[in-house]
């Protein structure tokens, strides 16, 4: 990659003037304002300041020694010591030619691939998946796809909630209130119903607790009912994942860790990490300004373990089994305290572990009234129903636009558009802000939406239906027009964009990148004739079309969104 080549040569030049420069990060980034150049670096300023040097003088000396004549048209020093690099057209042309041969254009696999675990989706057994799980599922899946594209080894683990006190009530409900016909037609609603019925009746508390204890002690009948509920829920989850095209390497679930919970609490006590407080066992964080008044319970006073204990066991298992460089948890922002505590306790407990632990949290989905998204009758929206509606609305739009298409084709396309729109509206917003769910906006062909990008892709493809594809190996690429250069340079920063997403766990950077790409493509296509141009010019411009199509397709794929040839 050109960017990393400039970076490494800059580093060498700096080393000639600064003794301990290898300690410093010397970064080269795409220019935020193309008027200044293609790439920029502001590294010299911090570097000079730290050593009491004059940044401008340092910059002058470094630029004197910088050998970039083969890559750059110019290297300018601006202001107190910014460096701006402008790339030669020839170098860009070569990069495009090379990208035509790459599996994922403009993306070079990580030089040191990492093992990364992503814990996402993680719905709860016997409950419907709701919109709260949609963000985790869509975001987690996109991060997994992007990290894999960058060459990392990713392990996705669906940590489903398949254990806890609710099973006492569910089992009692199963034994005494179950409507078999209702269970057959809509198992999750029926499980939800029996749970609510038991939960609302205080006189059944004791009986429910008794069923829970029996389950915990391994009672055959209760275990069988419990497994049955997991099975029914998993079928529902799998249907949703199938529609969303989301896969997991593992679905271990909370119950997998039951055998380890006792020993974890014992060990925390033995190491003096945890201690007794009012009958419970807790971990305190006296040295942490944020957590010093927020102890974490690891065993309740009734002797039961909890979410934190299970997550500690999970973390230990993952570290031992996969030796990950990083573990990413994707959940709602309300779990921030839980993960702060969890990560802290784990560091006390295992100070050998050098990997990163990241909580990638997100805000809520709001209804048009600005309140948490609900159905008209005030209930939580079910994910499967949301997907149905997305597809139906897309079907209507596709039928209006293309009445002549076959029914089955309309169905296929509307799935791609409907699900894509839903995913994109989630991924394109800043994950930490709440966003308002708006069907019209997400399905619009204008603006920063999936249908707009999918449409841009179909425009590229339609060009190739009108002309013959050249022999890519033989095309001489010539970039003269400003619009061609602007498009080409943007294409080249695809890999860098994916790296930025991976760094901050923010797929919205990629959405912005793709939106910008589609805009540059439009401007290019409006001002540079392709099909009507003479052969040499046409073929060179077709390279830009082809690469735009491939980057759009790969970029959308990185978001878990498919493309279609027509729409
Ligand atoms: N089941 C939980 C929920 O629905 C999410 C689990 C997240 N993962 C974890 N390791 N705690 O809120």
Distance from the CA of 194 to the center of ligand 1, in angstroms?
A: 23
449 lines ligand 1 (CB under 6 A): no
pLDDT at 374: 86
Q: Mutate which of 296, 331, 361 to test ligand 1's pocket (most atoms within 8 Å of Cβ)?
A: 331
Q: Is 332 a member of any domain? A: no
Domain of 502? 383-558
The CATH number of residue 507's host domain is 1.10.730.10
Distance from the CA of 434 to the center of ligand 1, in angstroms?
A: 19
- pLDDT of residue 349 exceeding 90, the answer is yes
CA 332 to ligand 1: nearest atom: 12
- pLDDT of residue 276 exceeding 80, the answer is yes
Q: Which residue shows structure tokens 């945890």?
A: 274
Region 503-510 average pLDDT: 98
- Of all residues in the chain, what percent carry a pLDDT higher than 90? 90
Residue 382 pLDDT level (bands cut at 50, 70, 90)? confident
562 lines ligand 1 (CB under 6 A): no
pLDDT at 131: 80
pLDDT tens-digit series, residues 400-445? 999 999 999 999 999 999 999 999 999 999 999 998 999 999 999 9
pLDDT at 242: 97
pLDDT tens-digit series, residues 17-41? 988 877 788 999 998 888 899 999 9
User: Of 135, 158, 103, nearest to 560 (Cα)?
Assistant: 135
CA 161, CA 245: separation in Å to the nearest integer?
A: 21
Q: Which residue shows structure tokens 């059944």?
A: 204
540 lines ligand 1 (CB under 6 A): no
Task: Tell me the whole-structure pTM to 2 decimals.
Answer: 0.95
pLDDT at 544: 98
Query: Which positions ≥6 away from 363 have C-beta within 8 Å?
Result: 333, 431, 432, 433, 434, 435
119 lines ligand 1 (CB under 6 A): yes
Domain's final residue, options 244, 261, 282: 244
Domain's final residue, options 244, 263, 285: 244
Residue 292 pLDDT level (bands cut at 50, 70, 90)? very high
Domain's final residue, options 216, 244, 272: 244
User: Of 251, 266, 257, 349, nearest to 311 (Cα)?
Assistant: 257
Q: Is 365 a member of any domain? A: no
Region 362-383 average pLDDT: 87
Let me know whether 387 and 477 are in one domain.
yes
Region 346-366 average pLDDT: 95
Q: Is 251 a member of any domain? A: no
Residue 453 pLDDT level (bands cut at 50, 70, 90)? very high
Q: Which residue shows structure tokens 């159905």?
A: 375
- pLDDT of residue 129 exceeding 90, the answer is no
**Beta carbons within 10 angstroms of residue 491's beta carbon:** 22
Helices 383-401 & 131-149 angle (0-180, nearest 10):
70
Region 118-135 average pLDDT: 91
Q: Mutate which of 335, 336, 343, 346 to test ligand 1's pocket (most atoms within 8 Å of Cβ)?
A: 335
309 lines ligand 1 (CB under 6 A): no
Query: Which residues share a beta bridge with 450?
Result: none
Residue 567 pLDDT level (bands cut at 50, 70, 90)? confident
């Amino acid at each position: 990659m050109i960017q990393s080549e400039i970076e490494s040569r800059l580093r060498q030049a700096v080393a000639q003037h600064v003794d301990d420069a290898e300690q410093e990060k010397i970064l080269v980034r795409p220019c935020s304002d193309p008027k200044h150049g293609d790439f920029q670096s502001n590294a010299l300023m911090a570097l000079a300041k730290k050593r009491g040097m004059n940044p401008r003088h340092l910059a002058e000396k470094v630029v004197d020694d910088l050998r970039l004549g083969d890559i750059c048209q110019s290297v300018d020093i601006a202001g107190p010591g910014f460096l701006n690099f402008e790339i030669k057209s020839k170098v860009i042309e070569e990069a495009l030619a090379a990208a035509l041969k790459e599996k994922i254009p403009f993306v070079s696999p990580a030089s040191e691939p990492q093992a990364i675990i992503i814990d996402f989706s993680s719905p709860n057994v016997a409950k419907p998946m709701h919109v709260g799980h949609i963000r985790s599922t869509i975001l987690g899946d996109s991060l997994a796809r992007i990290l894999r594209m960058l060459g990392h080894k990713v392990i996705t683990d669906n940590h489903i909630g398949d254990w806890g006190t609710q099973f006492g009530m569910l089992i009692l409900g199963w034994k005494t209130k179950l409507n078999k016909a209702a269970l057959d037609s809509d198992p999750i609603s029926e499980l939800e119903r029996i749970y609510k019925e038991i939960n609302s009746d205080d006189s059944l508390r004791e009986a429910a607790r008794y069923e829970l204890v029996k389950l915990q002690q391994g009672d055959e009948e209760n275990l069988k009912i419990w497994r049955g509920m997991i099975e029914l829920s998993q079928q529902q989850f799998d249907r949703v994942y199938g529609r969303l095209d989301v896969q997991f390497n593992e679905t271990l679930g909370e119950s997998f860790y039951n055998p380890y919970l006792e020993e974890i609490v014992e060990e925390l006590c033995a190491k003096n990490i945890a201690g007794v407080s009012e009958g419970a066992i807790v971990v305190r964080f006296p040295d942490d300004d944020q957590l010093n008044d927020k102890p974490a319970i690891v065993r309740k006073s009734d002797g039961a373990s909890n979410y934190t204990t299970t997550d500690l066991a999970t973390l230990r298992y993952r570290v031992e089994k996969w030796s990950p460089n990083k573990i990413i948890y994707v959940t709602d922002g309300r779990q921030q305290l839980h993960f702060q505590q969890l990560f802290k306790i784990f560091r006390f407990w295992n100070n050998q572990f050098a990997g990163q632990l990241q909580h990638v949290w997100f805000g809520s989905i709001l209804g048009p009234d600005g309140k948490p998204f609900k159905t008209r009758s005030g209930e939580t929206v079910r994910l499967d129903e949301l997907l149905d509606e997305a597809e139906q609305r897309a079907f209507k739009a596709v039928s209006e636009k293309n009445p002549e298409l076959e029914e089955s084709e309309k169905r296929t396309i509307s799935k791609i558009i409907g699900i894509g729109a839903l995913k994109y509206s989630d991924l394109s917003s800043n994950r930490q802000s709440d966003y308002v769910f708006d069907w019209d906006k997400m399905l619009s062909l204008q603006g920063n939406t999936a249908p707009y990008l999918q449409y841009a892709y179909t425009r590229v493809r339609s060009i190739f239906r009108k002309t013959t594809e050249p022999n890519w190996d033989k095309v001489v690429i010539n970039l003269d027009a400003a619009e061609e250069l602007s498009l080409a340079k943007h294409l080249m920063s695809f890999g860098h964009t994916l790296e930025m997403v991976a760094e901050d766990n923010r797929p919205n950077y990629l959405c912005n990148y793709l939106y910008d790409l589609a805009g540059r493509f439009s401007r290019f296509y409006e001002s540079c004739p392709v099909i009507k141009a003479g052969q040499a010019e046409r073929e060179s411009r077709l390279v830009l079309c082809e690469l735009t199509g491939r980057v759009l397709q790969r970029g959308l794929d990185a978001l878990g969104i498919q493309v279609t040839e027509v729409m």
